Amino acid sequence: MKKRFQVLLAVLAILPTMAFAEQDASYEQFTPITTGVSFLSVAPDARGGGMGDTGGASAPDGDSQYWNPAKYAFIDGVGGANVSYVPWLRKLVSDIDLVSASGYYKIQDVQTIAASFRFFSIGEVLINQSPDTEGFNVKPYDLALDVSYSRILAKNFSMGVALRFIWSDLTGGYNAAENGYLEPGWSIAADISGYYGQKVDFAWGTGFGAFGFNISNIGKKVEYGDYTSAAFLPTNLRLGGRFTMPIDKYNHITAHLDINKLLVPARPIKGAEESNESYAQRLDNYYKMDPITGIGMSFVDMPDGSAYSFESQFKRLMWSAGIEYDYNEQFFGRVGLYYEDPSVGGRQYATFGAGFKLNVFSLDVAYVLSIAQNNPLDQTLRFTLGFNIGGMKELIGFSKDDKKD
């Protein structure tokens, strides 16, 4: 029975990429990077989701916890909160959802604390103990709770750290120990991030350039029983840049570019002329590999044990680009593109988004349109509702001056 949940774990890890394995027969090897708790790689908000899943250097907002916690140090206002909902993989199933909430508060002008919560419902899964039994349904789920601290270290530069607790219950509450199923898994992870921004003056207005990085989900493997069921966290390196060009006093265009690389080694596959003993040894080494070693190996490993290939490593990069138009920083239109090489997944899609922001709250919506055929991510929607504490205080007539009076 444990093997059934190991299969479930693998499917959940590569489900967004499985549809492309048969589309291009010219690729001899289809070697996606598989991880546990893959929901940590799903963009939870509609703003970044509407710009091709970019956010490493986008303007700070309530969902910076996912993209780059260091951005919080430069965010406007005293605090705020965002709530997002993503109906996931709707082309395949109707009961997988990602719900998230995040909030931040400025302690001083130079430092900010933030927290977020993500809950990923995997829907109902039918369990059959044997072909002769009727079986029953369980409801697996994953969740993550994290806190972050960011601080301005120089005039235009900040850094942030985040600590995350992860819980993954693939048995949906079923008694794993007594019935031979995988046990619930957990892990603790950390993020390290940085952000730099600089104003650029033009004759007709002020622009802005920024760069950011985030190394996320650095932590121990999530284990569901013995070591062969342990899975790497989706440790990820994100590099992002943006540039805002003013059109006039009220209109602006901002271009975003993110490059991502999973800092996780590929699961070995048997080489064409490799012996069974050699393959078994490489597989055992993979299962026993610690996460820090895995980060280093992710830059040099080859799944089939062949010699290092820069081309193969380059194909593991994921590229995303987006453009955001805003009118007076109140009304927004967004478009983006996401590209992943077919040999490691082949996720290729366009995104569209829109939003508006008032003093008190904001609302954003995003939509995914697949470029490749049979993409389970096609027609994915994202919704985000944001609240501004400072705007609420203004709305009710509360200010520091009022307190003094």
Does 210 score more than 50 pLDDT?
yes
Strand residue runs (E) in 88-222: 97-108, 111-121, 125-127, 136-138, 141-152, 157-169, 185-202, 205-219
Model pLDDT for residues 242-254, shown as the tens digit of each residue: 999 999 989 999 9
The confidence score (pLDDT) of residue 13 equals 46
Does 325 score more than 90 pLDDT?
yes
Q: How far apart are CA 327 and CA 247, in angstroms?
A: 10
Burial class (CB in 10 A: 0-12, 13-18, 19+), 125: middle
Does 395 score more than 90 pLDDT?
no
Q: Which residue has the higher pLDDT, 181 or 155?
A: 155
The confidence score (pLDDT) of residue 175 equals 56
Does 227 score more than 50 pLDDT?
yes
Please tell me what DSSP assigns to residue 56.
S
Domains and CATH numbers, the chain: 2-404 (2.40.160)
Q: How far apart are CA 41 and CA 217, in angstroms?
A: 10
Residue 364 contacts residue 50 (beta carbons within 8 Å)? yes
Q: Which residue has the higher pLDDT, 59 or 391?
A: 59
What does pLDDT average to over the chain?
Answer: 86
Per the DSSP assignment, residues forming a β-bridge with 205 are: 202
Compute the average pLDDT of residues 75-90. Answer: 92
What is the per-residue DSSP string for 70-95? GGGGG-SSSEEEEEEEEETTTTT-SS
In a 13 Å sphere around the CA of 43, the CA atoms on its Cβ side amount to 31
What is the distance, to the nearest Å, from the Cα of residue 233 to the centroid of all Cα atoms in its chain? 12
Q: How far apart are CA 123 and CA 60, in angstroms?
A: 33
